[in-house]
Amino acid sequence: MTAVNTATLTPHGGVPREVLVQVSATPGGRSLIAVGPNGASYPELRDRVYAGVTNTGLTWPDRHVHITLTPQGPGPGKGSVQPSADLAVTAAVLAATGHLPSTALNETMFLGEVGLDGAVRPVPDTLALVAAAADRGYPTVMVPAANARHAMLVPGVHVVAVQSLSELVTWATTGRQPALPALHADGASAGEGAAEAVPTFLPGWLSPARFALEVATAGRHHLNLTVTPEVPVPLIGECLRSLLPDLDDRQAVEVSALHAAAGRQVDALIRRPPLQAPGPATSVTTMIGGRRPGVASLAHRGVLLLHNAPDFAPEVLHALRQPLDQQIVQVARARGIMTFPADVQLVATSRPCPCSTAHSRTGGCTAPARRRYSNQMHSIADRLAITVRIDASASGDASVGESSATIAARVVAARAAASERWAQQGHSTNAEVPIDVLRQPALRLPVPATSNLRRLVDVGQVSIRAYHAVLRLAWTVSDLRGAGQPDKEAVDTAVELYLPRGDNH
């Protein structure tokens, strides 16, 4: 009797882990055992599989049935296997005991819990697990019927959705599969990205900051905005977002999976970059997440807007350093570490003065009070590459306003240039390029181009970390101009974005 192999995925600390299943059935007696690495045994899984099969009306043969589970990859908790592995185990048992042909199970990933009555019950995080199956090259995924809608959102994978083991047997023996639910006709017509009001023109008061927003969006550089009290900050968030390109298939699946894992309703792939704008009372757990993804992960591939950033608790701002530096969050929990993606563009706003009145730049609060106020952002301040002051009373020149679509088109072109340049190093936007890449001989800028910037480093106005942040900005300025490499003008423009005139004295 040859062994039958199947595969499943279980969410392991937020990261899908593949588990290989092998089942053999040998004559000479009747027994059923399930074992894993280091001798782990799985009595509950064994009982569910046995009850599910016999209660479906299928005969259990006189055989020694031996189930082996092998979780792939390193890490603690290798012996743990969640109930979502039931379906893969049961399918292999049914093939090994002659109820269905084992060839029918090839190239299929099985996800589902099996009830004692033979029902196939839903499992959490289907979207992320099906995406991981597609990533691993599985053309077909079998899921519980209750999870079909999420599974079907993943492009390029064939979904078979079953309610019971009987439907699994029918599919494997005849090829007939139960009908799938109807999805919304247009993937973009539902879900978060759809009904939003997209600003078609930036408001006049935003036009002095237009270039800074364009550079920030093109390179995904973090923004430090000083805004006067009358500025409608949520509108700035929407304007920024209107300049961002749509998410590609892979990004859309990632973002949708995180929103589904956080308990949000996801009826269609989220195609527009998300915008999250938590309030200053947000806790570390809400921001970073725990068992479920937090706000930082809900802003993955989009914008995280902190209105009045200095008013946030220092530990919340400090907790954002990991996503800003590593594009993930990791949370230690009793059963291990949870890891969620959190690649955000951060926009931090603050008032010109700690009080919320609009007194002039020199009047009002004392210098120490102002310093204390701006110091409250110290843990993230040096991650913010672009500083802009936005004053809604300075109307700006609305007549030269370009449409958001025109600016967005330049952003797309600049991003394409950056992504082509960094593809070999595995990066796509300028903001994420590490220092050692910027220092490579082929990419190092000629000395004359960086003369002003070096002078600012010499006099201590620009730190070494900031020096590289300015270089990344210079690449974006240059990409927006369609130039091959930043020249002196691009670097000097980048310096002004980092240290706006007036602060640069």
Shortest-Cβ-distance residue relative to Zn ion: 353
Apex 18 CA angle, 50 and 107, nearest 5: 80
Candidate ranges 94-102, 107-115, 306-314, 362-370; the one touching Zn ion (CB under 5 A): 362-370
The least distance separating Zn ion from the CB of residue 373, rounded to whole angstroms, comes to 9
Task: List the interface residues with Zn ion, window 331-360 (CB under 5 A).
Answer: 353, 355
* Closer to Zn ion by Cβ: residue 355 or 499: 355
* Closer to Zn ion by Cβ: residue 178 or 364: 364
The least distance separating Zn ion from the CB of residue 461, rounded to whole angstroms, comes to 25
Tokens of 369: 């009070």
The least distance separating Zn ion from the CB of residue 393, rounded to whole angstroms, comes to 16
The least distance separating Zn ion from the CB of residue 148, rounded to whole angstroms, comes to 57
Q: How many Cβ atoms sit within 10 Å of the Cβ of residue 14?
A: 25
Closest to 418 measured CA to CA, from 484, 495, 354, 340: 484
Task: List the interface residues with Zn ion, window 56-115 (CB under 5 A).
Answer: none
370 binds Zn ion (CB under 5 A): no
* Closer to Zn ion by Cβ: residue 146 or 355: 355
Tokens of 83: 């109930």
Contact present, 328 and 340 (Cβ < 8 Å):
yes
* Closer to Zn ion by Cβ: residue 227 or 331: 227
The least distance separating Zn ion from the CB of residue 361, rounded to whole angstroms, comes to 10
Apex 90 CA angle, 103 and 58, nearest 5: 95
Task: For residues 166 and 55, give the distance between their C-alpha atoms in angstroms, rounded to a whole number.
Answer: 10
The least distance separating Zn ion from the CB of residue 229, rounded to whole angstroms, comes to 10
Q: Which position among 51, 365, 409, 443 is part of the footprint of Zn ion (CB under 5 A)?
A: 365
* Closer to Zn ion by Cβ: residue 194 or 365: 365
Binding residues for Zn ion, total number by CB under 5 A: 4
* Closer to Zn ion by Cβ: residue 231 or 257: 231
Which distant-in-sequence residues (6+ apart) come within 8 Å of 257 by Cβ? 125, 127, 128, 131
Closest to 296 measured CA to CA, from 313, 281, 282, 314: 282
Apex 29 CA angle, 71 and 116, nearest 5: 55
Q: Which position among 364, 381, 488, 489 is part of the footprint of Zn ion (CB under 5 A)?
A: 364
Name the packing angle between helices 404-422 and 464-480 (round to 10°).
120
Tokens of 49: 């599989």
Task: For residues 142 and 330, give the distance between their C-alpha atoms in angstroms, rounded to a whole number.
Answer: 30
Which distant-in-sequence residues (6+ apart) come within 8 Å of 37 by Cβ? 69, 70, 71, 78, 79
Pairing mode, if any, of strands 140-144 and 158-162?
A: parallel
The least distance separating Zn ion from the CB of residue 364, rounded to whole angstroms, comes to 3
* Closer to Zn ion by Cβ: residue 364 or 401: 364
* Closer to Zn ion by Cβ: residue 2 or 362: 362
The least distance separating Zn ion from the CB of residue 372, rounded to whole angstroms, comes to 12
Closest to 75 measured CA to CA, from 128, 137, 136, 14: 14
Residues in the site for Zn ion, rule: CB under 5 A? 353, 355, 364-365
